[in-house]
Amino acid sequence: MSAAPPDLRACFDHLIDLTPPQREAWFAAHALDAELQQELLALLAADLQDAPLLATSAAALAQQYTPPYDDGAGLVGSSIGPYRLGAVLGQGGSAVVFRAQRASGAGMQTVALKLLRTGLFSADGQRRFRREQGVLAQLSHPHIAGLIEGGISEAGIPYIAMEFVDGLPVTAYADAHALDLRARLELLVTVCRAIDSAHRNLVVHRDLKPSNVLVNTAGEIKVLDFGIARLLDDDDQQATQTCAIALTPGYAAPEQYLPGPVSTATDIYALGILLGELLTGQMPPRSPARADLSRACADAAALPAGMPAAPVLARLLRGDLDAIYNTATAQDPGRRYHSAALLADDLERYLHNQPVAARTPSVWYRLRKSMQRNRTASAAALLALAAIVIGVSLALWQAHVAREQAQRATAVRDFLIELFDASKAGQLPDQRLTLDQLVQRAGTRLQTQTDLSVPTRVELLRTLGEVRMAGSDYAQAGQFYDQALELAQTFYAPTDTAVTRIRLLQASLLIHQSRYADASSIYAALLPQMRADISAAGVDGLQNYASALMYSARTEQALAISAEAARQAAAVYGKGTLGAIRADLVRGNLLVGSGRHADAVQLLESALQAWRSSGRAPDQDFLQGLTDLSRVYHTLGQMAAAESLLRETLATAERIYDAPHDRIALALLNLGDALSLQARLDEAEPVLVRALAMMRAVYGDGHLRVANTLASLGKLELRRRDPAAAARHIRAAAQWCEHPDRHATRSCIETYAIKTELALATGELDQADASSARALAMAQEIFPQGHHWMAQLWQLRAELSLRRNDPAAALALCDQAHDLLARLDKQHGTTAETVLARRASALAALGRPAEALADIHQALALWQQLAPAGNLHRIELLDQLASLHTRLGDSRAARDAARRAVALVQDRSRIEPALLARIEALAGR
């Protein structure tokens, strides 16, 4: 047996005590591997340096002594023990973590599998890895990711299989769900309790940070990765040696940068840093002196979603939370909380308005906390004292307000009497002013009539703008808003409510003009005022901001602001009120837009039913709710229910508004689209033509909704198999999306998809490639979690691959689309039918007609359900079916399918001649 190769540690230990000549002799006598010899020489040279080890920074030491490693990507797809490795979830200095699966019963079990890094198979490395298995085995807590098993693979690689947590880091989760201060503190209390459980099992984590504290999809906290944890009762000195500095700068306690043991105080420090990051959205400043969160919050460029404005948040953090943070992150470990449980207790005391242990218990502090806990008794005690002062002040203030309101009412009355004097009943009909003329005259007089006070003129100009907005005269509405703002800024402070509400109306007008990015910029600047304005105007502003974000392709931020608006609506209106119902309808609209139909349908059905039960007259919010619910029903394949809602929407809009009006036009467009999708083309065409005329009357050419209506007419002509007529509408529609300043929108995704269909119909394959690629890029930007439009685009690209004689690529795209629809639970709509038919074509082209037959039967059944009147497409599906039966040698079934297709032919000019000849030949005609 050959001798074992020399060990680096053993060689160094031998050479360190030799003189330089003795070392040279030793190297000459031993034939060492070149890499080993180089490492030995580097170590010996470092030993001769004059600078002591501790004179080098911790970061430099970490870089110098941490061995190089790869990212583990080369192991993806291989097997370790019973597990097959998937994507890399994370990596550190000593290990890589993979998503892995193994067979378990009738299904598959997903785990997080940690492997020791390639090239670190030293005895010390394996010992640390075995220790981690022992550490995890000691921990059993619902908020700590548990150990499943550990072992060593056939290749000698140690692994640990842990519970897989599908979630977000706690800070990202809090921001994504726009959690408020209380909710964020409650999350951290849960983390503290979990860490305290580990401490009581004599385990210190030593690397707490957001990426090691996840919140899963059910909202449950899970603490991960005790990869550098230290057992407090471990007396194995080798197990506590530091082979490489294992810490995360920013979260590591000061003592982790020094030689010596760590304790539970190390984790307390990291919990304090995590507290600061949760509450301020940034890493708190690291300073040997006191560093208050309230000061860091005031200096922050941006605050986390769901948190109040900086001045309000600074006031909430000042005092108790500053004291808790400074105690947890004290430089001296002895001055920190003695356990994670005590930190959790202090946070809970704050949440219950009790004195916290981190503060000096002065008499005034305890009195104030008592008053906060016992508000009713405290208010009664102070009421008698305050009554006299308040009573006198209120009487004086009410007298002043009454005089001001009386003066304003008189001025407004005189203004209106003079205004309407030009339209009295005694005058000749052709001399009376119309409503438009009256509004124009009012605006002119407000610019010149200075006997009215500035607040009165501002209010009247703002009201005139809202009148023109309701009448869809956006140009004049914008003029009135601009005049109102210019005048208000001469009288009010920039942050006054009067100024803010005019700017909110201007932003709302921009949304109606499809200028979503411009509207989002205004709302972002006004966000602190909207959050502080606990009123209907504040709720409306947040809801409109969420809509602008959604149409600006910022889906997650839109949903976070929408959730914030819903909470504020509940505070302003109360549960079950009309205001709360409106807020639910607005949020339902955003859920539909983000593709979350399961959540949307429940919310919309409940809100619409509550509206009907209230007996309240319908308005535009009710109409939008009906439209949104119809979109969900259509996606779910419930075509009759969707059409019924759209007809109700149109009838209600025509009853409420005078044509031309944007709400009537939009109802016509949606109904026309629904009829077109069901292949009821002769019914759909006059509805869409009327919608286009009204859209142009309301908006003028060049507006998004005009482009949407043109795209719908183009789609209708494609369904009629008339590409020439379709091209005129589609190219006009695409002009809006091709403007260089346009961002990704849902409308443009659909327009480019229709443009792809047109290019395929006319044989322009390069154009089809470019249009579908652009639409797909937009869809992936707006819907990172997937949307059924992506499946539609994949099947169009599958058709393109078939035209380019690449059926394998076409099948892969169809399978990708099918899997996405299954994941989204959207296997019953028109997209699902198209994917099935395209997949059958790909299978047939690959010589697999038997498999294709199953897909085409499913497509026929689904099309019969979705569009009973859709004979043109049904003829095409039956042609596919007949062709497949022919290839399988079943001439009778082929003839029956062809005869069914021929029987559906009504207008021979709308059917491709080759297809018509094929089915007639097979039918025996």
Q: How far is CA 657 from CA 183, 233, 796, in A?
A: 44, 78, 40
Long-range contacts of 754-757 (CB under 8 A, 24+ apart): 754/711, 754/714, 754/715, 754/718, 754/730, 755/730, 755/731, 756/793, 756/796, 756/800, 757/715, 757/718, 757/796
CB atoms within 10 A of CB 359: 17
Beta bridge partners of 115: 96, 159
Describe the crossing of helices 849-866 and 871-887 by its angle, rounded to 10 degrees. Answer: 160
Long-range contacts of 291-294 (CB under 8 A, 24+ apart): 291/326, 291/329, 292/317, 292/318, 292/322, 292/325, 292/326, 293/317, 293/321, 293/322, 293/325, 294/318, 294/321, 294/322
Please calculate the CA angle 388-389-393 and round it to the nearest 5 degrees.
115
Q: 460 near 498, Cβ under 8 Å?
A: no
Q: 552 near 511, Cβ under 8 Å?
A: no
**Helix, strand, coil % in the chain, rounded to nearest 5:** 65, 5, 25
Strand positions, DSSP E, 125-274: 147-152, 158-163, 167-169, 203-204, 213-216, 221-223, 230-231
- Alpha-helical (H) ranges within 58-216 are 58-65, 123-138, 170-176, 181-200
Q: Is 91 helix (H, G, I), strand (E, B) or coil?
A: strand
CB atoms within 10 A of CB 319: 16
In whole angstroms, give the CA distance from residue 158 to residue 761. 58
Spell out the residues 6+ positions from residue 727 whose beta carbon is closer than 8 angstroms to its own. 714, 758, 762
Long-range contacts of 311-317 (CB under 8 A, 24+ apart): 312/531, 312/532, 313/181, 313/279, 313/280, 316/181, 317/279, 317/280, 317/292, 317/293
CB atoms within 10 A of CB 514: 20
Single-letter amino acid, residue 360? T
Q: How many CA atoms lie within 13 A of 895 on its CB side?
A: 7
In whole angstroms, give the CA distance from residue 328 to residue 275. 9
In whole angstroms, give the CA distance from residue 488 to residue 42. 74
Q: How many Å separate Cα 474 from the centre of its chain? A: 31
CB atoms within 10 A of CB 614: 12
- Alpha-helical (H) ranges within 374-434 are 375-420
Is 424 annotated to bind a ligand? Reply is no
Report the first-to-last Cα separation within the chain, whole angstroms.
87
Strand positions, DSSP E, 602-726: none
Q: How many Å separate Cα 279 from the centre of its chain? A: 20
In whole angstroms, give the CA distance from residue 708 to residue 387. 62
Spell out the residues 6+ positions from residue 765 whose beta carbon is closer than 8 angstroms to its own. 759, 800, 803, 804
Q: Is 100 helix (H, G, I), strand (E, B) or coil?
A: strand
In whole angstroms, give the CA distance from residue 134 to residue 228. 12
In whole angstroms, give the CA distance from residue 566 to residue 38. 66
Q: Which residues are annotated as a binding site for ATP?
A: 114
Q: Which residues are annotated as a binding site?
A: 114
